[in-house]
Structure 1
Amino acid sequence: MADVVLSGLTKSYGTTRALTDMTMTIEDGSFVVLLGPTGAGKTTTLRLIAGLDRPDQGDIRIEGRSVLSDTPAQRDVAMVFQQYSLYPHLTVRENLAFPLRSPVLNWSEPDIARKIGEVAEVLRISHKLDNKATQLSGGEMQRVSIGRALVRSPRIYLMDEPLSSLDAKLRADLRIELKRIHAELGATFLYVTHDQIEAMTMASHVGVLDQGRLVQFGTPRDIYENPISTYVASRLGQPRINLLPADAFGAAKPGAAQIGLRPEHVHMGEGQAATVRRVEHLGDQTRLHLTMSGHEIITLADPHTTLAPGDAVAIRPETPLWFDASGNRI
């Protein structure tokens, strides 16, 4: 494993600027998640690191050495795609062995068998090794796809939204699996997604992308608690942050155009009058959808609350975030 340092990466496809001045360090052993919507530059970043595309400007250094002139094979990185990329006519064992039999690696058969056994145990698919890929469920196929990367022990694993085509239950299960695998292997992961839950639950560090620019980089907690803009604040958190006019609760911070309140920072019991519009009972928590002076607000309540639509409540802000007219944090 190794540090991967991106310096001033810029990439355009024709007249479309996909990435602008991307500068970021992926430390050895970290689990970095790039978060952003479609078109933010996430996959472009992976392709540049993997060597599938070449940047127009900037440098990529792995273990302190520029790899711009290296082929994808020479860079010793492994990529996991959104689609499973398996050979359907081969068994799980043969799919896992395929990368190790390449002329570049050329492992011996005993070493291949040993490595497949280790990876299959980590992924909990040992009992499926002799099944054809077409006999697997979606979750099992994605495990094998991840396994094809794990057998190689590369310097960095690049993962391009590998869970997005799975159903909610499988996504939740594999999020836990990936974090466990990362901890067990001590590997370096760069994972891209548009799903903020994946970013919050798996990442050691999150990079938030906006139209090809890295706008904030830090731990999930730091970005959640200290976003630099309304854009970043809206990318993390479920339910999303409440953004209201700065004077919605009275006096505002000088220069502020908006006040931002996480749902857990809307205090009930005193303050401005509001009306319960909808109640969502989720088992471990209850979400209240409120209306206050024409503004919609979501907050959290006790799981056993007896509040119902139409009830009146009083609310006030706690630890608000303030943003100027451009959406930048004050």
Structure 2
Amino acid sequence: MAEVSLSHVSKGFGATQALLDVTLTIPDGAFVVLLGPTGAGKTTTLRLIAGLERPDGGDIVIDGESVVNDTPAQRDVAMVFQQYSLYPHLSVRDNLAFPLRSPVINMPEPEITRRVQAVAEALRIGHKLDNKATALSGGEMQRVSIGRALVRQPRIYLMDEPLSSLDAKLRADLRVELKRIHAELGATFLYVTHDQIEAMTMATHVGVLDQGRLVQFGTPRQIYEDPVSSYVASRLGQPRITLLPAGSFGHGAPAGAVQMGLRPEHILIGEGQPATVRRVERLGDQTRLHLAFGPHEIVTLADPHTLLGTGDTIAICPQNPLWFDAGGNRI
């Protein structure tokens, strides 16, 4: 495994600036998640590290050496795509072994057998090795796709939204599997997603991208509790943070504050100003209250066994909210 660093990297496609002066260090052995909406520059970052694109400016360093002029094969990285990209006529065993039989690696067959078996067992598909790829479920195919990267044992694993095409249960299962595999391998992962749940549950570090710029980098807890802007605050947290005018609850806003940000834990129920329950979402382990507060909607959490219902009025007040100025910057 290796540390990967981007230094002042920029990349444009015609009139579109995909990345702008991005400086980022992916520590050796870290699980870094790049988070942002479509068009933020996440996939472009992966493709630049993989060597599928060349930066317009800046440097990319892997294990202490610049790789800007290296081919993808010379960089020794492995990439997992959103789509499965398997060879349908080959068995699971041969799909997993395929990269190890390439002229670049040319691994001896006994070692290929050992490594394929180990990865298949880690991904819980050891019993599927002799099946054709076309005979697998969607979740199994994506496990094979991930396994084809794992057998390589490269310097860094690059993953481009590999779980986004799976159903909710499979996504949850594979999130656990990927985190377990990362811990066992001590590998370096760079994982791209727009799914904040994946970022919060898997990452050791999160990088938030906004229109090609890296606007914050830190642990999931740091990004959640101490966001630099309302944009970053909106990227993590479920339910999403509620942004209200700074004076919504009267006095108390610091100088320069235009907006206040309320996460569920920032809202005290039982005192303060009136809000009306518009909808109650019972999710088993938690209950979400959708509240009408004047012209605004606030989503907060209540006791799972609450007796509150649609139309009820409750009192709410903020506790340690986040404050933002006119430009969305944190105060």
Partner letter of residue 151 of structure 1? V
Tell me what 2:265 maps to. 264
Alignment of 1:213-228 (within 5 A): 213-228=213-228
Matches within 5 A, 1:148-297: 148-251=148-251, 252-297=253-298
Alpha-carbon distance in structure 2 between the residues aligned to 1:51 and 1:258: 42
- Partner AA of 1:270 in structure 2: E
Matching residue of 2:299: 298
Distance 1:174 1:102 in 2: 28
Structure 1 residue aligned with 2:22: 22
Residue by residue, what CA displacement relative to the aligned partner does 1:8-36 show, whole Å, maximum 9, x if unpaired?
11000111110001100000000000001
- 1: CA distance between counterparts of 2:21 and 2:61? 15
| Residue equivalent to 1:114 | 114
Partner of 1:145: 145
- 1:266-287 residue CA offsets vs partner (Å, 9 max, x unmatched): 1001001111111111110110
Question: Could you list the runs of 5+ residues in structure 1 that have no partner in the other structure?
Answer: none
Give 1:309 shift: 0.8
**CA–CA separation in structure 1 for the residues paired with 2:205 and 2:238:** 18
Q: Which amino acid aligns with 1:62?
A: I
Q: What secondary structure does 1:82 align onto?
A: coil
TM (normalized to structure 1)? 0.99
Aligned residue number for residue 7 of structure 1:
7
Look up the match of 1:31.
31
Residues 21-62 of structure 1: CA distance to partner in whole angstroms, max 9, x if unpaired?
A: 110000000000000111100000000000011000000001
Identity of aligned residues (%): 79
The whole-number CA distance in structure 2 between the counterparts of 1:299 and 1:45 is 35
| Deviant stretches of 4+, over 2 Å | none
Match of 2:316 in 1: 315
> What do the CA deviations read for 1:243-296 (whole angstroms, capped 9, x no partner)?
000000111221100010101211001001111111111110110011122221
TM-superposed deviation, 1:312 = 1.1
Q: Structure 2 stretches of 5 or more lacking a match?
A: none
Counterpart CA distance in 1 for 2:138 and 2:314 is 46
Distance 1:108 1:273 in 2: 72
Q: The residue matched to 2:247 in structure 1 has which SS?
A: coil
Count how many residue pairs are aligned between Structure 1 and Structure 2.
Answer: 330
**How many angstroms apart in 2 are the aligned matches of 1:310 and 1:115?**
60
Distance in 1, matches of 2:24 and 2:209, equals: 12
Question: Which structure 2 residues correspond to residues 37-52 of structure 1 after superposition, within 5 A?
Answer: 37-52=37-52
Partners of 1:237 and 1:88 in 2: CA distance: 39
- Deviation per CA, 1:139-165: give whole Å up to 9, x if none: 000000000000010000000000000
Aligned equivalents of 2:184, 2:129: Cα separation in 1: 21
The answer for the alignment partner of 1:326 in structure 2 is 327
User: Which amino acid in structure 2 is aligned with residue 250 of structure 1?
Assistant: G
Distance 1:259 1:247 in 2: 8
Normalising by the residue count of structure 2, what TM-score does the alignment of the two structures yield? 0.99
CA distance in 1, matches of 2:292, 2:114: 61
Structure-2 separation of matches of 1:209 and 1:129: 39
Q: Which amino acid in 1 is paired with 2:114?
A: R
Shift of 1:3: 0.4
User: Match for residue 92 of structure 1?
Assistant: 92
Structure 1 position 135 matched with structure 2 position 135: yes
RMSD: 0.6
Residues 65-84 of structure 1 mapped to structure 2, 5 A cutoff: 65-84=65-84
How far off its partner does 1:129 sit? 0.1
Residues 101-127 of structure 1, C-alpha deviation per residue, up to 9 Å, x if partnerless? Answer: 001100011010010011011111000
Question: What's the offset of the Cα at 1:79?
Answer: 0.2
Q: Deviations over 1:287-318 (max 9, x none)?
A: 00111222211111000000011111100101
Give the partner amino acid of 2:178: L
Q: Is 2:109 the partner of 1:105?
A: no
